[in-house]
Structure 1
């Protein structure tokens, strides 16, 4: 547990450094593009349009889900996923891609996944603002349940860091693991209730679906913005989510601590 606490402590201690490097990476990523940082929003918007047309218009014929227009329902699920998927894929490669640089100086390697998370969080926050505007246009009322949205944001950040500190360590040691992460994220997109509702499945499958921690996040966003459910009402799922997140964080921090001085040997 001491290892986990030290790892978390480093994230707070080096937060100014995380923020500076993340800002630099965000600017440099799109520096040579004519539209620049706008590509962070163009790609998700194009994907949202395709998913809405295929699943909302083509398959569902525009039928609302749980009383909510399908486009809004889909958007609330896709926005966190557009943050989750690239962050995990990029975060799992964060140590390997920079190990040559950080090995030449005294640098807290454990903050590299946090830099990736912070680099992607800027676009995520702006898409949340866009979602708020779209909901106003559609006349979706804001209720008191939106107060729990910060809780789900904390859940999201904790889960992302736990996964990326774990996967980035393994990816630096075993390069095939990075390909496994990419494939897994593509599969998890369809296994997470983003394009479909949990209630469309028989109740006996609900427990299996809830084993996916990303389902907890996506459903939580919908509960905060569209539904009327507090996170503590389903305390079993909440307990499972945090138990799993802490377990992954513990394993990731322990693995990282054991190999952080040996990454160069695996290049």
Structure 2
């Protein structure tokens, strides 16, 4: 809308629709911008790199080998009859998706500061496009696991059709945490140092290098307070013929906590979005 300043000049003030219905309609109308930002981030991600997309192959393979040696060969932790590399790679699918998406989305608003201060569009498009970019690495890791399953002659059964459900469950904490940290990173710039620490800590308290079966039964529900526990167990159950136990109370708890994280993240992001141009 137009407004008159003290010196008599007319200026154009661009402001978002505050009503929720109008806001989500704006998100749909700006869908082309969403795909443009996604494609741009994909191209920039591998631009001027020595081996390009190969990084997405090397990282999960190296991590899988290290975890298999430490936990499988040296610690001799149980794998429930599954080749230990498969146990690890099945957990790394959702975990790497989570870490990559959270790392990218948490700094997405700061990285697009010039764009955010010039024109109006629903700001939620920016962190969401960063999350979609992380699906590239997920697909590559899924292809690596498919090759390994053929190598070990350990093909999935009917449970694999439930994999999209657990992928959807993974989206909830990813989107919720991404919205929280992208907003907090704008208001408090030192949060960019907190995210890597939390991800490193989360790696040790999530069943990536080991099976959840080693956790004592009395601590299972408390352990499931980590939303990624239910997601990782679900991926293993779907891909490894149900060899990993599916803790239904834990899955339910993870779903509830992830939903709360998503809802509160969306609420806080919308609250921060109104003052974004002033503090960025």
Superposed CA offset, 1:132-164 (max 9, x none): 121111011321111110101111123211211
How far off is 1:92 after superposition?
1.2
Bigger shift: residues 212-221 or 133-142: 133-142
Deviations 1:66-87 (A, max 9, x none): 1111111111112221221121
In the superposition, the TM-score normalised over structure 1's length comes to 0.88
Which of the numbers 236, 240, 253 marks the counterpart of 2:249?
A: 236
Q: What SS does structure 1 have at the residue aligned with 2:124?
A: helix
Q: Distance in 2 between matches of 1:55 and 1:230?
A: 16
Q: 2:30–2:121: 8 Å Cα contact kept in structure 1?
A: no
The structure, 1 or 2, with the larger RCO (C-alpha pairs under 8 Å, 6+ apart) is 1
- Which residue of structure 2 lines up, in the alignment, with residue 97 of structure 1? 111
1:201 match = 215
Match of residue 117 from structure 1: 131
CA RMSD of aligned residues (A): 2.6
Contact 2:221-2:249 at 8 Å conserved across structures: no
Q: In the alignment, what sits opposite 1:148? A: 162
Structure 2 unmatched ranges of 5 or more: 1-17
- 1:40 maps to 56
1:256 corresponds to which residue? 269
Higher helix share: 1
Residues 1:12 and 1:151: Cα distance change in structure 2 (over 3 Å) = farther
Structure 1 unpaired stretches of 5+: none
**SS of corresponding position for 1:247:** helix
Between the aligned partners of 2:166 and 2:265, the Cα distance in structure 1 is: 22
Match of 2:151 in 1: 137
Matched, 1:31 2:44: no
Partner residue of 1:55? Answer: 71
* Residue correspondences, number: 263
Partner SS for 1:109: coil
| 2:260 aligned residue (244, 247, 258) | 247
